[in-house]
Amino acid sequence: MSSGTFAAYRPILIAIAALAALPLAVPMLVSAGLFAGANTFYNLMIFILIITLAAQGWNIAGGYGGQFSFGHAAFFGTGAYAQAVLQTRYGVNAWAALPVAMALGGLVGAVIGLLAFRARLRGSYFALVTLAFAEVFRILANATPITGGAAGTLVPLRIGFGQMQFEAPAAFFYLALGFVAVVLLLNRLLERSRFGAWLVAVRENEDAARALGVDTLTVKLKAITLSAAVTAVAGALYTQKFLYVDANIAYGAWISVEALLAPIVGGIGTVFGPLIGAVALIGLGEAAKTLIHSAFGSAVPGVDLVVYGLLLIVVIAFAPRGLIGLLRAGGGR
Amino acid sequence: MFRSYPPQIVLEAVLNGLLTGAVYALVALGLTLVYGVLHIINFAHGAMLTLAMFAVLVAHLGFGIDPYLAILPLTPLFFAFGYGLQRFVISPASRNDDGAILLVTLGLSIVIENLLLAIFRSDTRSLTLDYSFSVVDLGFALLSLPRVIGFGVALVVAAALWAILALTDTGKAIRAVAKEKLGASLVGIDVNHIYAVTFGLGAATLAVAACLLMPSFYVNPRVGNAFVLVAFTVVVLGGMGSIAGALVGGLVIGVVESLSGLYLGESLGQIGIFLIFILVLLFRPTGLFGAKA
């Protein structure tokens, strides 16, 4: 590994180390009154990491490749349901179910991608068709017996490493962090690869890329497959964390929106964008909820999402390259 | 799986589908108009419809205004709202970049929907009016009076919209901007103003749609989502930007929904719409009436 290569990965390794060290700060954060307890901290962090992973998936096709999907719920949900159904109905071990969930998510991505890209859908049209696919999956999952229908699927609580259910909340935090870390490194690898360069070329000017001999259909297909597989893992982790899925969670529009908001707010088509965006969105959302709760004396639903929407508009208006773009511009180039 | 029904029930389902379809068409008209001129998909369309429906609710419960009379104040109010939204929020925030517009309207939809959720909570509400359950007896079928009125007014609004576009100077300017915005600006048309007028017209049609819906429908903060997906389907089916297409598409989708609800049941009924949506996008993205992309 040349020193140049190491330099490219150094910020990622530092970030991973910093995140891994976070549990050390938990007693301090709790005593400072920022969190009600260690569990509150871990639940929030795990949720942020799961959203980060879903967003990292979106960022591969949407950020690097410029294919704005509004329906990543199709992949998240497939991962979530596969993880739940394989365990409850087919007795598959949780660790063995995870790669299957990932593969199934990737497969769904490949099929939707093949249909959409073969039909030359771009921009708004691609956004709409992905949205429609996610809705079809949601309606089907709500109506077919294998997914538990409208009642959803409950994964039985059986704590044990073999079941991927842990007594200590820190364990699941490290599991989720492990996946996020792998995708952070994978994205840097992608950025520095020939495939990554083709993908960016497709985003910048697809016709020009094709004219220069890039097989744009294959590039886009590979991107959406990888993108879907990563988001499917996020879905599978969601199932393992909450031990329950139903159609509105798994295939709901909320996850499609979170998966695309985080990279856009954080910095589209960048390695750290999804992570920074997820932290900012969920952090600010939680802060707004707490603030309103203490101001009105009771919880007001939707406040966090109002913040999400406003943040999205503000970022598009004033920081089109996301928070990461602001950091770079502010930190002297 | 398929049950067979006596012809009268099927006929009634078709007629009911046409009635619902007219309101779908009205919701889709605003969407297709905005697409035809600004070449953007307004993701906030559904949330704006929800907002309009709550406005009808508040007008009735707070001020005792009948939903049909509420058309008079709400239509200009929503025109102004849409105009302002495009002129002072969407356009400056997105610098008129297509991808950015899509995201800004998505952000707006999230903000509007959740503000409504914060204010009105997630409860589903409806209006009880003297005529809510009145029916029109055609001899061979019974139809709900509010939905028959909705059908009639929706057709009138579509005709009015067509007349505005075809006969007025502003309409001419809108069509000019839709065709060639650079050329339009060169002959002295204020493109930003026309964009905002178009957006305002789209919002105004939503206000009318909301007034027509409320006597027979319910409202909650997420109700617009159901309509917006249907409206997207209508617009895609009819051809993006085509008014006649939106009208026919709306009626077709209304009938498809009604029939698939009859044959597949409530929960699977909606799937027919999305399958049409996907198939049209994949195989004929210009729609049935659209010009070549």
Would you call A139 and B281 a contact, using CB atoms and an 8 Å cutoff? no
- Dihedral sign from CA coordinates of A216, A217, A221, A227: positive
Name the pLDDT band for A170 (thresholds 50, 70, 90). very high
Residue B119, min C-alpha distance to chain A (Å): 8
pLDDT digits (tens, 9 = 90+) for A83-134: 999 999 999 999 999 999 999 999 999 999 999 999 888 888 899 899 989 9
Res. B270 pLDDT band, cuts 50 70 90:
confident
| CB–CB contact B104 A135 (8 Å) | no
Cβ(B232)–Cβ(B34) below 8 Å:
no
Report how many domains make up chain A.
Answer: 1
Q: Is the pLDDT of residue B290 over 70?
A: no
Determine contact: A291 vs chain B, CB below 8 A: no
* Residue B275 to residue A316, Cβ atoms within 8 A: no
- Specify whether the CB–CB gap between B176 and B51 falls below 8 A: no
Whether pLDDT at A333 is above 80: no
Tell if the CB–CB gap between B117 and A128 is shorter than 8 Å: no
Pairing assessment for the beta strands B142-144 and A244-245 based on DSSP bridges: unpaired
Cβ neighbours of A300 in B, within 8 Å = 118
B9-39 pLDDT tens trace: 889 889 999 999 999 999 999 999 998 888 8
Asked if B200 and B243 touch (Cβ cutoff 8 Å), the reply is no
Amino acid in the structure at residue A307: V
Tell me the mean pLDDT in the region A73-91: 96
Q: Answer whether B221 sits within 8 Å of A302, measured CB to CB.
A: yes
Question: Residue A46 and residue A241: Cα distance in Å, rounded?
Answer: 8
All residues of chain B having their beta carbon less than 8 Å from the beta carbon of residue A127 are 41, 102
Start-to-end C-alpha separation, chain B: 39
A68 touches chain B (CB under 8 A): yes
Query: Is B107–A309 a contact, with Cβ atoms under 8 angstroms apart?
Result: yes
Using the beta-carbon criterion (under 8 Å), do A302 and B89 form an inter-chain contact? Answer: no
Asked if A142 lies within 8 A of B277 by C-beta distance, the reply is: no
Residue of B nearest to A130 (CA): B278
What the block records as the tokens of A333 is: 């180039």
- Residue B224 to residue B44: CA distance in whole angstroms: 9
Q: In a mutagenesis test of the A interface, which of B35, B88, B110 is the best target, namely the one with the most A β-carbons within 10 Å?
A: B110
Q: Which domains does chain B have, with CATH numbers?
A: 7-283 (1.10.3470)
Residues of B with CB under 8 A from a CB of A: 40-41, 89, 92-94, 98-100, 102-104, 106-111, 113-118, 121-122, 221, 225, 229, 232-233, 236, 267-268, 270-271, 274-275, 277-278, 281-283, 285
CA distance A158 to chain B (A): 33
pLDDT in the model for residue A52: 98
- Calculate mean pLDDT across residues A42-61: 97
Q: What band does B90 get if pLDDT is binned at 50, 70 and 90?
A: very high
Q: Tell me the C-alpha distance between A127 and A256, whole Å.
A: 11
Residue A245 is predicted with a pLDDT of 96
Q: How many contiguous H segments (helices) and E segments (strands) does chain B have? A: 13, 4
pLDDT digit string (tens) for A126-135? Answer: 998 999 899 9
Q: How many whole angstroms separate alpha carbon B261 and alpha carbon B81?
A: 36
Cross-chain residue pair B99–A310, CB shorter than 8 Å: no
Side-chain-side CA neighbours of A186 within 13 Å: the count stands at 15
Residue B179 has pLDDT above 90, yes or no: no
Please, which pLDDT band fits residue B288 given cuts at 50, 70 and 90?
A: low
pLDDT value at residue B242: 84
Question: Which domain covers residue A197, as residue numbers?
Answer: 3-330
CA atoms in the 13 A half-sphere facing the CB of A56: 30
Give the best residue of B108, B278, B280 to mutate against chain A (max A CB count within 10 A). B278
pLDDT tier, A332 (very low <50, low <70, confident <90, very high otherwise): very low
Check pLDDT > 70 for residue A331. Answer: no
**How does pLDDT run across A250-298, given as a tens digit for each residue?**
999 999 999 999 999 999 999 999 999 999 999 999 999 989 988 888 8
Question: Lowest mean pLDDT: which of A56-70, B105-119, B226-240?
Answer: B226-240
Model confidence over B273-286: pLDDT tens digits? 888 888 888 887 77
Least confident among A142-146, B130-134, B213-217: B130-134
The residue with tokens 């029916």 is: B135
Asked if A119 contacts A251 with a C-beta cutoff of 8 angstroms, the reply is: no
Residues of A with CB below 8 A from B268's CB?
A: 139, 143
**What is the model's pLDDT at position B4?**
79
Closest residue to A312, CB basis, from B107, B229, B233:
B107
What is the token pair recorded at B167?
């006969």
| A312 lies within 8 A of chain B by CB | yes
Q: Is the pLDDT of residue B47 over 70?
A: yes
Candidates B103, B119, B225, B277, partner chain A, best to mutate (most A CBs within 10 A): B103
Q: Are A64 and A200 in contact (CB under 8 A)?
A: yes
Per residue in B192-245, pLDDT tens?
A: 999 999 999 999 999 999 999 999 889 999 898 878 888 888 888 888 888 888
Identify the three-state secondary structure at position B67: coil
Please list every residue in chain A whose beta carbon sits closer than 8 Å to the beta carbon of residue B44.
none
ipTM tops the 0.95 cut:
no
Per-residue pLDDT at B293 exceeds 50: no
| A308 shares contact with chain B (CB less than 8 Å) | yes
Residue B207 pLDDT = 96
| Residue A312 C-alpha, separation from nearest chain B C-alpha, in angstroms | 6
Could you give the maximum distance between any two Cα atoms of chain B, in Å? 61
In angstroms, the separation between the Cα of residue A302 and the nearest Cα of chain B is 5
How far is residue B220's CA from residue A292's CA, in Å, rounded to a whole number?
22
pLDDT tens track for B48-82:
999 999 999 999 999 999 999 999 999 999 999 99
Record: contact B104-A133, CB cut-off 8 A: no
Instruction: Say what the pLDDT of residue B25 is.
Output: 93
Inform me whether the pLDDT recorded for A41 exceeds 80: yes
- pTM, rounded to two decimals: 0.91
